[in-house]
Structure 1
């Protein structure tokens, strides 16, 4: 398992640079009305939050410990909560790509629906869940997605599989950050 010591390592692990994270992924519209798919907008905000809060010698571990000690880890703008959201966003994309690879259907609606159910639905209220499911029919088809990305089935398959393979280590690492701290375990379930 890889180890991410600080913000820059996390950014490298995600394959991007601070401040220039993608605003869309595989051509998915990550803004309204597909805000629930806006994983990378959230990542960009989280990275900026981490960068603004981080001390030069900070690691993710020390930031989480400090937030727990200062009793601010449950606040909406905390780095701990943001890191949990990043984990869920990675899970959502991973499940969506797994579903897209296992089913060659032209519609990605089922893949997005299942990935949302497995990552965010339990943490969203009725109104948010309803909005998500109402917007699913407006997602692009698999063919339109590939066309927009100037990808073909083979190249898109390689990219989705690469994300699936690399995401497991990040999710495991983020889970470990919280499970290794008794007082932080409950954050994973509450937020």
Structure 2
């Protein structure tokens, strides 16, 4: 498994295309070109004061909806309540067939146990999780979304050796 991420930090121009996060869409294309299995991690916030960043951020919608032309697993965490429904609806729209590019695969992942695991990381390491100045308790949705993407990627990685033991001979073919 290879984890590709932008950062640290984002440089944005407050425009739909002018931010460094478009690199996430390029990463999806590169993984697919190398016959890999891209997993998209959405930027999600329930606490951001800017409407364009609440729910699934416009950054993720642009990077995965416009820049990524290859199909990726778009992981959506199973969050509760109205906010959870909003994120699920936005993710479903992102995975709808589109004029340009392949259709993404919507993958719902339960978040059971993830908040406790993230809190344990903070407690055991002394490192405070932080995004845009907010910690785990202030904006859990973003951290749970990233952890859900990690959970999905880990499951794919665990399945890979068993699948490769079968008929798969092309790198990445076992996961298609």
Q: What TM-score range do you get, normalising by the shorter chain?
A: under 0.3
Structure 2 length-normalised TM = 0.27
Q: Which has the higher helix share?
A: 1
Instruction: Specify which structure has the higher proportion of strand.
Output: 2
TM-score normalised over the length of structure 1? 0.26
